[in-house]
Amino acid sequence: MKQFIADFNKLVKLRLTLTVVFSASISFLIGAKEQGEIIWINWLILTIGGFLITGSANGFNEIIEKDLDKLMTRTADRPLPSGRMTTGQALVLSVFMAIAGTLVLLRLNFVAGLLSVFSIILYAFIYTPLKQKSPIAVFVGAFPGALPPLIGYYAAFTQDDLALYSQTNEAAIIIIPLVLFGIQFLWQFPHFWAIAWVADDDYRKAGFRLLPTKERDNISAFMVLISAIIMIPAGYIPYYFGFGGILFTIVSIIGGLMFAWYGYKFYQTQDIPSAKKVMYVSFIYLPVTQLVLLFDFLPLK
């Protein structure tokens, strides 16, 4: 049982899954603040449903890539390539989590359930096969990667509330979730390209080409720099639309400046240690800015 739990954690990529659930949970609480009431049982439902959906998508990803995972040092010990779990077992677990997670999120509203299904399809069955074919995979993967805040925000509303807000306060039901989606979408480019630079030697063993030009070259490094600089104005968007306070704006712009600085240093050196610094900034930026926005959120009522 201890080994099964350890393998299950690797199948669902536990740390990644918890990060996704955290992002969705914070957005749920932001949506609840917009309404003026937090329904904690719905937050728990979102957390469970979000875990199941994300775990399912990661499970399908590992099933599809099991033979490729054998080739890479960082993934060779996963349960499927190591032989500790069969494809059938992983498939049963992934299908169960997909169905259960969708049904759980449908209890909140139809939009949350639909977006969860869409995220599984995009991540597992479109992004995953593209990783060997084209660097555009990172762009495609950024969509399901940015869906958690969208799902979390809408999960804070009942179906009736969604209908009511769409008539009385379109800004609260359209602008806020799309901005949350957009910031996380943009964040993924410096984040994933930095990781791709660091892990490029390992990725090549499986034929993955996730850098903008498929190589560690000057153009790819420049794209990392540009994507990092874009995070500066991205942090101003919530303030522009009136739901991000001064504290959040200061923190997010400082985070964007850190992205830009380390992106610039990386562009100068184009080495792995500098790429790791961009990667570490990305690890800090998202949870910190999301938490600050939660406490410095200004409802659009």
What is the average pLDDT across 2-10? 91
Query: Does the structure show a pLDDT above 80 at 301?
Result: no
Residue 31 pLDDT > 90, yes or no?
Answer: yes
**Is residue 169 scored above 90 in pLDDT?**
no
Quick one: pLDDT band at residue 171, thresholds 50, 70, 90?
A: confident
Q: What is the mean pLDDT of residues 205-230?
A: 93
Question: Torsion angle, CA of 153/156/158/160, rounded to 10 degrees?
Answer: -60
Q: What is the predicted pLDDT for the residue at 226?
A: 97
Q: Are 224 and 281 in contact (CB under 8 A)?
A: no
Residue 285, judged by CB atoms within 10 A of its CB (0-12, 13-18, 19+), counts as: buried
Residue 118 to residue 134: CA distance in whole angstroms: 21
Q: Which tops the pLDDT comparison, 168 or 68?
A: 68
pTM above 0.75, yes or no: yes
| Average pLDDT rounded to a whole number, residues 26-44 | 94
Given a cut of 90, is residue 162 above it in pLDDT?
no
Q: What is the pLDDT of residues 227-273, one digit of tens each?
A: 999 999 999 999 999 999 999 999 999 999 999 999 999 999 999 99
Averaged pLDDT of the chain: 94
pLDDT at 144: 95
Q: Which amino acid is at 132?
A: Q
Residue with tokens 């890479």: 72
In angstroms, the Cα distances linking 24 to 4, 99, 119, 154, 266 are 27, 19, 13, 10, 31
In the chain, % of residues over pLDDT 90:
87
Cβ(232)–Cβ(253) below 8 Å: yes
pLDDT for position 108: 92
pLDDT range class, residue 126, cuts 50, 70, 90: very high
Instruction: Tell me what pLDDT residue 214 has.
Output: 81
Report the pLDDT value the prediction gives residue 105, as an integer from 0 to 100.
Answer: 95
pLDDT at residue 163 tops 80: yes
Predicted local distance difference test score (pLDDT) of residue 166? 82
Q: Report residue 226 as tokens.
A: 């540009």
**pLDDT for res 30:** 96
| Confidence band of 300 (pLDDT split at 50, 70, 90) | confident
pLDDT for the residue numbered 215? 87
pLDDT at 89 over 90: yes
Rounded (10°) angle between helices 176-198 and 14-35: 160
